[in-house]
Chain A
Amino acid sequence: MATSGRIRMRKIKKMLKECAPGHTTKQTDHHLWVMYGKEKYPLPLGEHGKRDNSEIERGHVKQMVRLFKLNAERAEKILGFPISNDPPPDQETPLGEPSPHNSPN
């Protein structure tokens, strides 16, 4: 099971197989490049850990789905998390208000 905020590469590949038919991949030292149509996205591989089933931060997958213009609903069903990043209204920080993610100083 992937750690919080991350997803296993196998699941990503499953999603790509269904939502991005005809895509290809190429692994380099630090990335798994996914090519679909005219676009390509470099999924960052960790320096350590299993390369065959790396954990990828969800944000990368969201960005890739957007870039490739894949069917978000279909992708969400396979991945198990929402692709749309619109935060729920109670998490939005109004302009000028401090957020829980302020810099340390």
Chain B
Amino acid sequence: MTTRAKQSHMIPLPLLFLFKDEVSSKHFPATVEVKTRGRVLSLLDGGKVWMYGVQPGAIAASGNDRKEAEGAFRAAYKAVLLDLAEDATDLAAFKEQARGFFNQVCEPRLEEWWQAVGKVRQANYTEEGLRTRPANAPVSITIETLNVLALPPPQHSNTNEPDPSGADEVLLAA
């Protein structure tokens, strides 16, 4: 029997995300595209919905509902990338820092995440508007240089706004 929920919030909810960011810095002459496929755990905590990073694990954000929390998490991740870009002495250093940040796994959360996957599977849980992806889908970060010319970065690249191309996605891990 499938448990369906319309805009409800199962606690906790194992999620996968795909974010695409363009980052530039005065320290390196190119704009880079950072594509991140990560894991995050959504749950109610202290009266708010929290998105707790699993991998990357050093990140968290909250909202009054899951949509708001997702938006806050999205912005928080971009803010970290911008911080790393500003702090890096050159492009190679930024890549190392960004990969290092992504590779931090919050192991207690990872355990909770897989427990949540088990519950989702057991209940055949689905949610309207939330696509499903296999829980064992690979996580990764790729950092590609978009251009090496000394051109001004795209207008949106170093703002806290996510990529307007709509590449961002949050999916249910099942």
B-contacting residues of A (Cβ < 8 Å)? 5, 28-31, 33, 39-42, 44, 57-60, 62-64, 66-67, 69, 85, 87, 91-93, 95-99, 101-105
Decide if B161 is an interface residue (CB 8 Å cutoff). no
* Least CB separation from A57: chain B residue: B62
Bound form: Cα–Cα A101–B66 in Å: 8
B80 and A85 within 8 A (CB): no
Can you list 7 A-B contacts (CB < 8 A)? A40-B104, A63-B109, A66-B109, A69-B107, A93-B9, A99-B44, A104-B65
B49 and A44 within 8 A (CB): no
Residues 98-128 of chain B: 1 if any A CB is under 8 Å from the residue's CB, otherwise 0?
A: 0001001011110000000001000101000
Chain B residues with CB under 8 Å of A44's CB are: 76, 79
Bound form: Cα–Cα A55–B97 in Å: 26
Give the contacts of B47-95 with A (CB-CB under 8 A).
47-50, 52-53, 57-60, 62, 64-67, 76, 79-80, 82-83, 86-87
* Least CB separation from A63: chain B residue: B60
Bound form: Cα–Cα A12–B132 in Å: 38
* Least CB separation from B124: chain A residue: A95
B52 and A59 within 8 A (CB): yes
Given contacts A28-B86, A28-B87, A103-B66, contact A97 B80 (CB under 8 A): no
Query: Which of B52, B64, B76, B106 contacts A101 (CB under 8 A)?
Result: B64
* Least CB separation from A105: chain B residue: B7
Decide if B43 is an interface residue (CB 8 Å cutoff). yes
B45 and A62 within 8 A (CB): yes
